[in-house]
Amino acid sequence: MTTPKPVYKVIVIGDNGVGKTSLRTRFLYGKFTSSYRATIGADFLTKNINGMTLSIWDTAGQERFNSLGSSNPIFRGTDAAIFVFDSTNASSFASLEKWLTQFLSSSGSPSPTIVLVGNKIDIPERTITSKQAQNFAQSKWKAKAEDVFFCSAKTDHQVKEVFNRVAYLLQNKIDGNQFQMETATDTVNLGRRSTSLTSKCCF
Ligand SMILES: Nc1nc2c(ncn2[C@@H]2O[C@H](COP(=O)(O)OP(=O)(O)OP(=O)(O)O)[C@@H](O)[C@H]2O)c(=O)[nH]1
Ligand SMILES: [Mg+2]
């Protein structure tokens, strides 16, 4: 009998309106819409990247649709997090500190993989520089330059690179045996389908 492959939980986190849903939709379906519908709670979609199954969780940025307080059950068992800010909105960048604190106290993972994404780079009014983003990521979780992206869900600039980087970092951890298999306990194995089912969560 072959052992089923685990599913790795990847979560997209950040303020409301920064483009979390748009980034995932762009990556999974190659689509973008300029209309805004706030995410309520969280949901996941699975995607197979290079033989690895990722459950990619989209979360609510609006606190009233999210779980409040220092811990967030949606973050539990996360293997990798994609922190997103709007590159034209300084307050969404400042909020990352709060999201990171909540994430680190909730994920339960000893050393989660983290990448940082400044979205909406197609808009000329950029307020956050690459240096600011790099400094933040480097000081907070010793990120490398390759773990920081500026992308656009609208124009599809650098979107697949973000998710491919996450898969690459996870693969490196597996190869280095740093993984604890129990990290997959909060996920659902949806088999070999590459992009499939959405499951609504109810927080
Ligand atoms: N110009 C531009 N607009 C974008 C981009 N990504 C998202 N948007 C727009 O920004 C708005 C918010 O995008 P969402 O993806 O819904 O944001 P979100 O982070 O999921 O928001 P919540 O679900 O409330 O947390 C929508 O009107 C999108 O069309 C981008 O790369 N460029
Ligand atoms: Mg959303």
For ligand 1, atom 8, name the residue with the nearest CA.
19
DSSP symbol at 81: E
User: CB-based contacts of 3: which residues, under 8 Å, 6+ apart?
Assistant: none
Query: What is 7-202's CATH number, 3.40.930.10, 3.40.50.1370, 3.40.50.300, 3.90.1200.10?
Result: 3.40.50.300
Global pTM value = 0.87
In the prediction, which pLDDT does 189 show?
34
Helix (H, G, I), strand (E, B) or coil at 119: strand
d(CA 170, CA 172): 5
Structure-block tokens of residue 165: 């980087």
Ordered alpha helix ranges (H), the chain: 20-29, 90-94, 96-106, 130-141, 159-175
pLDDT at residue 50 in the model: 87
Measured in Å, residue 19 CA sits from the centre of ligand 1 at 3
Q: CA-based Rg of the chain, rounded to a whole angstrom? A: 16
Any idea which ligand is nearest the CA of 66? 1
What phi and psi, each to the nearest 5 degrees, are found at residue 13? Answer: -130, 145
**Cα-Cα-Cα-Cα dihedral sign, residues 156, 145, 13, 45:** positive
Which residue CA neighbors atom 12 of ligand 1 most closely? 17
* Cα dihedral: 154, 64, 133, 8 (round 10): -80
1 CA → ligand 2 middle, Å: 40
- The closest ligand to the CA of 118 turns out to be 1
Contacts of 186 (CB under 8 A, 6+ apart): 9, 76, 77
Which ligand does the CA of 126 lie closest to?
1
pLDDT for 190 equals 32
- For the chain, what are the domain ranges? 7-202
For residue 39, the ligand 1 atom closest to its alpha carbon is 23
**What is the full per-residue pLDDT of the chain (203 aa) written as tens digits?**
555 568 999 999 999 999 999 999 999 999 999 999 999 989 999 999 988 999 999 999 987 666 556 678 899 999 999 999 999 999 999 999 999 999 999 988 888 899 999 999 999 999 999 999 999 999 999 999 999 999 999 999 999 999 999 999 999 988 876 554 444 433 333 333 333 334 444 33
Index of the ligand 1 atom closest to the CA of residue 61:
25
